[in-house]
């Protein structure tokens, strides 16, 4: 049984890392587009945050790239402007996600 315990802990940690990445990515997009509060676009950004959080929790989304690609498509469609974070920013967010989770678990 110890193996199962460690396997579950690893799974929980990976969910925590994806959530942290998601939170930081969401902040970048929300700041970038800065939709006015109470507008339809604003509420759509709130909705995508909730939807993605559920997908991560339910393990429907299991990678950084899936989150990144979904946000790029969603915000490009919502704003009418093609925008996505670059590879370097993506890698920085991944590293920062791991660091934040490791600090939380200490």
pLDDT in tens, 46-100: 999 999 999 999 999 999 999 999 999 999 999 999 999 999 999 999 999 999 9
8-12, 16-20, 21-25, 41-45: lowest mean pLDDT where?
A: 8-12
Q: Is residue 14 part of a domain?
A: no
Query: Does any domain span residue 8?
Result: no
Looking at per-residue confidence, does 18 or 3 come out higher? 18
Q: How far apart are CA 93 and CA 78, in angstroms?
A: 23
Does 1 map to a domain?
no
Q: Give the chain's count of helices (H) and strands (E).
A: 4, 0
pLDDT of residue 24: 97
User: Looking at the domain assignment, is residue 9 inside a domain?
Assistant: no
Which helix (H) or strand (E) covers residue 49, if one does?
Answer: helix 40-57
Specify the number of domains making up the chain: 1
Residue 84 lies in a domain: yes
User: HSE-up of 82 (CA within 13 Å, CB side)?
Assistant: 1
């Amino acid at each position: 049984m110890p193996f199962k315990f460690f396997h579950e802990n690893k799974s929980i940690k990976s969910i925590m890392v994806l959530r942290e990445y998601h939170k930081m990515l969401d902040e970048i997009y929300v700041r970038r587009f800065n939709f006015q509060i109470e507008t339809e676009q604003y509420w759509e950004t709130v909705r995508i945050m909730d939807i993605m959080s559920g997908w991560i929790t339910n393990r429907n989304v299991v990678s950084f790239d899936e989150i990144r690609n979904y946000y790029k498509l969603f915000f490009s469609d919502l704003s009418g402007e093609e925008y996505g974070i670059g590879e370097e920013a993506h890698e920085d967010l991944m590293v920062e996600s791991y660091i934040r989770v490791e600090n939380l678990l200490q």
